[in-house]
Structure 1
Amino acid sequence: MSRPVPWIPVVLYGAVLLGGVYYAVIGPGPGARTAGYVALLGALIALDRREWRVTPGVVFALRVVLLCGVAVLDESGLSRVLFVLVPFLAFFAYGPTVAIGLGIGCVAALAGAFTLSVPHWQVRAEYIGDLLMFALGVVLALAMAAVAVREQQARARLEGTLAQVAELSAARERNRLAREIHDSLGHHLTAIGIQLEKAEAFASLDPESSAQAVSHARWSANRALEEVRASVRTLGPESESEPAGLSRALADLVHHLDGGSRRITLRTSGVERRPLLVLYRAAQEGLTNACRHSAATDIRVDIAYDERGARLEVADNGVGFDPADEGFGLSGLRERVRLAEGTLAVDSSSDGTVLTIEVPW
């Protein structure tokens, strides 16, 4: 585990270094021990200034060895405070259990050192105070390490959550664009194909109908290009690209698909409060499937408005399909309807298919 607060050891090293040098200057005077003291503290600072490509245990053991060397060369007694770093650093390298054990060991080692070097230290207030302050420092170091680890874990979880949100947002946008391409371009390409077939069939028999079919195909191509440009321009919520009027947009769709061996009728009732793109796409999907796959000769599009919302029904007399074979278009439409808090129902048999959508305002 990496150490989230690398500045703490460096600050302690620096403070002890300045304090020890100051004590040597005003006391016995700088000498070889002072030079060694400074060199070892410099090595500790350098050790904590970079990441080492070795196991954490090796670096931790090297720190402990250097700390012991500093304590041996220290004439001021200040270096004992550095040993609070032993449980602090062990917390990141080995976990809380080992760190607490080492913290207890450091307090016990200081008490043992007092026992060996200071007669009757147990009845001297300054040494008892030093031991208590050192024990308090160990507790604070462990608490700080625990807080730092929890903060690091929380940050990692947050980053993971943000990455998941970004991935889900990107996936949702990709799905939305895929639905737009399928529902918009797919419909218009179907319409172009139908009208060009009609134009080819009537080219010699009815030039006027053939020319009209070519005109309808050209309209569908232009409409497809406009919708592609709108999608590229906005790349935003679906409501930004809703048609200006659902009834008028559906009338255009029916007008450019009707004709030949196929009859399409459109009926509307009620008052349209606002355009609903999901119903426009539903009508496109229903008409596209009826014209491309069902071999229908009669298609009916009914839309009704009331105070609660709108209801669209696309019915044909085609050959129907197996609901288990539902394709991308219908599955994408189900997602659109779900996001609009509406309902979708498909009833298909050999006598035809009825697609029903209800969406609230």
Structure 2
Amino acid sequence: MGATDTGPVPAGPSRPVSWVAPLLYLAVLIAGLTAAAHTSSLATAPTAAFVAGILLLLLLESGPLRPPLAVLAARLVLIVAVAALDESGLSRALLVLVPFTAYFAFGRTAALALTVCCVAVVLALYTLSEPAWYADPEYVSDLLMLLIGLVLALSMAAVAIGEQRGRARLEEYAARVAELSATNERNRLARDIHDGLGHHLTAIAVQLEKAAAFRGHDPHTADQAVADARRSAGLALDDVRTSVRALRDDHAAPFPLPAAPADLVRELNDGRIQATLQVDGEPYEALGPDGTALTALYRAAQEALTNVRRHADARHVTVSLTFGADSARLVVADDGRGFEPGAVSQGFGLLGIQERARLLGGTVGVDSAPGAGTRITVEIPRAVPERDA
């Protein structure tokens, strides 16, 4: 019985160890009727009152798990009355049910107090019936058996409550884990939609604006812009299919590096912006073949280039991918208008980059100033092979 069992039991099963009380009532009823039959007193009023008391106790037992104090007091009175009417003497064992029930309803302190009360009631009954009861081995033996029964009842109640509290905590933890898993999945879907579909929709919008601007005086450039918009729409559809395939298959192939970033760089080269890509090292040797880190780097490059297209007003952009022995590093630098990192609120894109990197133990750095361009650095540590773990 630990210190934590002092309060009412938390929500759980409707009646822990529900078979204990009815079994005791049935045993006492059989023993009482057997004793009454041996003394030819089955048809007497005391025996009828004894049976009625047992039935009332069974009725009270079918009540709520947390009975009011009045019900608990009525149970104690009925047990004392049944014990006085029982010729077998076994009814005194029913006293163990009082602290047992109180433990579930009111906690350990109330159960211990009622245990003392039960012992006091038995001592009072002994004294009234036999003033020198302490000299009779039978009375002493009955008292010791009652004390053992009370201890066992309290122990059983403590174990049942401990098990119920443990189950409640496990259910709470399971619900919390499920909620966190759902939140993480929602965040992941939000990042994929923002970084993937958002990037391609931005490209389509820019290309259609270019087509509208050049339609009157350079139809060839306008047609090329429309063709680029169609190509971006196809890439958007492919990206959606890749994301859906990844949702359905945990072992779906990752975004290929460096081929996928090369496509992003080519897409950005629209005449206004000159973009270059540099790749050093082998990505799969540095990051492992599971695809999580590769996808994070691809999405980071995708979002960084989308921001360049939308906000930077840059002329030159460099994308550098370095796969080293300890980590992989992505650097996207432009010569655009720049900004003050502390003075501008972070959008969903940069937040998604930081979340992806943090989940893999990586870091994200943003170096920018008004008029000095922007440099975004994403570094993800090398995956540790199982043989090295």
Output one character per residue of 1:28-68: Cα deviation in whole Å (capped at 9) or x when no partner: 2422332332222122222222427x862132122123223
2:357 to 331, 337, 358: 337
Structure 2 gap ranges (5+)? 1-7, 10-14, 383-389
Give TM-score scaled by structure 1 length: 0.92
Q: Provide the residue aligned with 1:301 in structure 2.
A: 319
Q: Provide the residue aligned with 1:326 in structure 2.
A: 346
Q: Provide the residue aligned with 1:73 in structure 2.
A: 85
Q: Provide the residue aligned with 1:353 in structure 2.
A: 374
1:291 to 309, 313, 317: 309
Note the 1:130-169 alignment, pairs <5 A.
Answer: 130-169=142-181
Q: Provide the residue aligned with 2:276 in structure 1.
A: 265
Note the 1:83-122 alignment, pairs <5 A.
Answer: 83-122=95-134
The answer (yes or no) to whether the contact 2:327–2:379 under 8 Å persists in 1 is yes
C-alpha distance in structure 1 between counterparts of 2:362 and 2:67, whole Å = 58
Q: Is 2:295 the counterpart of 1:282?
A: no
1:38 to 1:220, Cα distance in 2 relative to 1, 3 A: farther
CA drift of 1:213 comes to 2.1
CA drift of 1:183 comes to 0.8
Q: Provide the residue aligned with 2:3 in structure 1.
A: none
1:346 to 1:4, Cα distance in 2 relative to 1, 3 A: same
C-alpha distance in structure 1 between counterparts of 2:160 and 2:30, whole Å = 27
2:264 to 250, 253, 267: 253
Note the 1:93-242 alignment, pairs <5 A.
Answer: 93-235=105-247, 240=252, 242=254
Q: How many residues are paired up?
A: 359
What code does the residue aligned with 1:344 have?
Answer: V
C-alpha distance in structure 1 between counterparts of 2:59 and 2:316, whole Å = 85
Structure 1 gap ranges (5+)? none
Q: Secondary structure at the match of 1:227?
A: helix
C-alpha distance in structure 1 between counterparts of 2:174 and 2:105, whole Å = 28
CA drift of 1:332 comes to 1.6
CA drift of 1:209 comes to 3.0
Percent identity between matched residues is 51
CA drift of 1:136 comes to 1.1
What code does the residue aligned with 1:354 have?
Answer: R
CA drift of 1:137 comes to 0.9
CA drift of 1:298 comes to 1.5
C-alpha distance in structure 2 between counterparts of 1:238 and 1:219, whole Å = 28
Instruction: Tell me: higher relative CO, structure 1 or 2? Use CA pairs within 8 A at least 6 residues apart.
Output: 2
C-alpha distance in structure 1 between counterparts of 2:190 and 2:376, whole Å = 21
C-alpha distance in structure 2 between counterparts of 1:309 and 1:210, whole Å = 43
1:153 to 1:216, Cα distance in 2 relative to 1, 3 A: same
The answer (yes or no) to whether the contact 2:318–2:334 under 8 Å persists in 1 is yes
Q: Secondary structure at the match of 1:312?
A: strand
CA drift of 1:21 comes to 2.1
281-290 vs 223-232, which deviates more?
A: 223-232
Q: Provide the residue aligned with 1:41 in structure 2.
A: 54
C-alpha distance in structure 1 between counterparts of 2:84 and 2:135, whole Å = 25
Give TM-score scaled by structure 2 length: 0.85
